[in-house]
Structure 1
Amino acid sequence: MNIKKLITEIPWESNANIRFLWLKADGKPRSSLADEIRTLEEKTILPIVLRSNLFLTSNALMADLATLISDNEHEFRGLKSLSPSHISVVIISNDPLSIPQASSPVRLPDWFPILGGREIFVRIEDVFDTAQLAPLNSEGARIDLIASLLFEIESIIVRRLRFIAEAQEGKVRALIDSLRADGENNGGSTNSHLQNYEAHLAGVSVARAYRPGAKSKNSLLSKLIYQVLKNSPDSVASFSKKLSSALAIKTMPRLKPSLFGVMLRPSLALEDAEANSHFGILAFYQAYQLMNAAAHAGEYPSYPASLVLANAKDLVRFLMDFRQTLEYAFAEQLQPEEETA
């Protein structure tokens, strides 16, 4: 790993003059990492090998910082001759940082090279989480894979609606009527709407480049995404019942939603198939927003690469589960239920 790049690319907080960074050695000798840091041109980066049982609980953060400074007084005093304006303290440990990266007050001793005798607020930041920033269109965002999964899922759902409409047109029509955007005339036969959805999908030449909009009149996925844009979480959950009914799923195991889906958990009680439809709609919306941000990545800040990747992996995991579950459910139900009188 490029230690200099990791450390120097971490942005300073406004009005901060001293910061404490946590570097997990990741199997490399801590002393070797400290020596490597000392050779950097930035002389105001101070490596400290952690050899005490410090920073194990958030409650002891202030006391642990004071102990760390006191135990390494000689090293800190050595910086005073440089008359530094900023100091980066790199704590090198064999273990990951186990406490939240929250601020804590600490009173600096009078002999400290900068701000001596003053109380300041500092926090310990994990070098890898903070420094390895990635734009939202980076490889870790997995935009191509997400696009392909959206296209595949939309294709599966449209085929299912076509199948159900043969015997239970009323269920499919109820969904189509509820998908109307503001000011949109929802006239035309059920068949004509399904033909529009099918034609839209047929016009996609490369699945990995698929990017649904929010108001496309001919994309079923876009119309589902629009439901999240215009409605409250409970209203979206209520709408998901119509999608589930139109798909005529008899039994379906409840899926594990993406974390984003958990954040928008509704108050309404949903059956398993309805809940999965709700999770799916939220995942479509999540993917839509992520793809928009990736397409305009320069307008957004970069985020820790680990966060970008974790978000993408979680979304991909759900979309794969959803696609597979739909395929299994539809394969087992070769014929739709008879229309009830």
Structure 2
Amino acid sequence: MAKRSDTRRGELCFYWVASGGDRDEFAQGLLELSADLPLCPVVVRIGGFVDPNAVAHDLLRVLESAKTQLVRPDFAERIRAEGWLDVVLIARRELELDSTSSPVVLPDWFPVRASTSVTATIDDLTWSTRVALSAGEVQVADLRRLVFELDRTLVRVLRTSHAQDHRRVNALYDRLRSGSDGLESFEDLLSGTESTLNRIRNPGDYRPSVSRHPTLVGHIWRVTNATAPDKLPALAKSLAAAVGIAAPEAEGFYETMTMVLERPSQPIEDANVRWGFNFVVSVRAACQLITAAAHADEYAEYPVQLARSLSLDLRTSLDRSIDLLDSRILAGDGIVSD
């Protein structure tokens, strides 16, 4: 909002933001971020904003609902000192009006231009607001934490699986050690991962690597990067076999948008392989996003809803993968509890 105040088009501006979360918490966050600005977030609790001919009426109803805040002496003085006011309308849905401009006669109590007619325009920020990939809305720290937990969980599952029957992990190990130096045994892979993870003090700062002391996730990321989509099902199959995923668990599993975009030319019919495919492409996408966020100044800013949705999609997939792998250990079905 501070950026937009520098390019404002008038004394009074309205902005629309669709939020599926806690709107009161969102409003409070805006207040805290703009403590020195004449900005008034208003949670839209009324109907309306569907008829272009009623926009003026709807805006006045919203302003009346925020009267207490707008006439508060310190806030009103801030508005007069700056000479402008931004009103942020926080709604549950996106704005679907073709026309969002309308003349409005402001109430006689309004802090600026009281009882005068102004042209009110609502700018929909739901998709036009852009943020860097490192912005808080992307929740990169939570993504890093989940990748860290996934790495740890993979070690536990694969160590137990290897102890039960080393043949189960052979195909995965062959693929992960391809193109990598220093992996003399599967135990080296597991121990190396544990050693790297044990040095991490804050999982929210974790950054997987494909070159410096790579972990299981790092090796999966490296191999997935170097493998064409049509050949990834083989890696997916070896992973599913190594962790002991059974078809009933894999069927109906959460699939990311990344899986759709990375799909091979031939549909994957086997549920276990499909689960493994989703796993490896989601891991790669998560690692790529974490790395891009660390170098956010090298990339463009993106619509906040898009960045948040991508992050949520990946975090949901990683979180459910962790739960499923944990359940394999606890169930004792093929893989026993350690």
TMscore range, shorter length: 0.5 to 0.7
Which residue identity does 2:263 align to in structure 1? R
Q: CA RMSD in A?
A: 3.7
**Distance in 2 between residues matched to 1:9 and 1:258, nearest whole Å:** 38
Quote how far apart the aligned CAs of 1:178 are.
0.9
In structure 2, what is the equivalent of residue 262 of structure 1? 260
| Pairing 1:152–2:181 present | no
In structure 2, what is the equivalent of residue 318 of structure 1? 317
Contact 1:129 1:306 in 2 (8 A): yes
Aligned pair count reads 255
Contact 1:249 1:330 in 2 (8 A): no
**Distance in 1 between residues matched to 2:183 and 2:303, nearest whole Å:** 47
Instruction: State the identity %.
Output: 21
Quote how far apart the aligned CAs of 1:191 are.
2.3
In structure 2, what is the equivalent of residue 204 of structure 1? 200
Quote how far apart the aligned CAs of 1:261 are.
2.0
Q: Which runs of 5+ in 1 are unaligned?
A: 11-20, 43-54, 57-63, 73-88, 93-124
Per-residue Cα deviation, 1:90-133 (whole angstroms, up to 9, x for no partner): 743xxxxxxxxxxxxxxxxxxxxxxxxxxxxxxxx844421x22
Which residue identity does 2:234 align to in structure 1? S
Which residue identity does 2:145 align to in structure 1? S
In structure 2, what is the equivalent of residue 302 of structure 1? 301
| Pairing 1:171–2:171 present | no
Quote how far apart the aligned CAs of 1:273 are.
2.8
Provide the secondary structure at the position in 2 that maps to 1:214.
coil
**Distance in 2 between residues matched to 1:287 and 1:128, nearest whole Å:** 24
In structure 2, what is the equivalent of residue 118 of structure 1? none
- Pair 265,146 (structure 1): closer, same or farther in 2 beyond 3 Å: same
Contact 1:221 1:284 in 2 (8 A): yes
Structure 1 window deviating more from structure 2 (245-254 vs 206-215): it is 245-254
The residue correspondences of 1:149-298 to structure 2 (distance < 5 A) are 149-182=146-179, 184-185=180-181, 188-250=184-246, 251-254=248-251, 255-266=253-264, 267-298=266-297
Which residue identity does 1:272 align to in structure 2? A
In structure 2, what is the equivalent of residue 134 of structure 1? 131
Contact 2:177 2:183 in 1 (8 A): no
State the TM-score, normalized to the length of structure 2. Answer: 0.63
Quote how far apart the aligned CAs of 1:281 are.
1.2
Quote how far apart the aligned CAs of 1:218 are.
3.8
Q: Which runs of 5+ in 2 are unaligned?
A: 18-42, 47-57, 64-69, 71-79, 85-95, 104-118
Quote how far apart the aligned CAs of 1:241 are.
0.3
Which residue identity does 1:300 align to in structure 2? Y
In structure 1, what is the equivalent of residue 107 of structure 2? none
**Distance in 1 between residues matched to 2:83 and 2:127, nearest whole Å:** 23
In structure 2, what is the equivalent of residue 119 of structure 1? none
- Pair 142,187 (structure 1): closer, same or farther in 2 beyond 3 Å: closer
- Pair 177,302 (structure 1): closer, same or farther in 2 beyond 3 Å: same
Which residue identity does 1:318 align to in structure 2? S
Contact 1:177 1:186 in 2 (8 A): no
Structure with larger Rg: 1
**Distance in 1 between residues matched to 2:216 and 2:260, nearest whole Å:** 24
Per-residue Cα deviation, 1:49-97 (whole angstroms, up to 9, x for no partner): xxxxxx87xxxxxxx88xx99x99xxxxxxxxxxxxxxxx9743xxxxx
State the TM-score, normalized to the length of structure 1. Answer: 0.63
**Distance in 2 between residues matched to 1:300 and 1:90, nearest whole Å:** 34
**Distance in 2 between residues matched to 1:277 and 1:211, nearest whole Å:** 22
Contact 2:196 2:213 in 1 (8 A): no
Provide the secondary structure at the position in 2 that maps to 1:231.
coil
Provide the secondary structure at the position in 1 that maps to 2:249.
coil
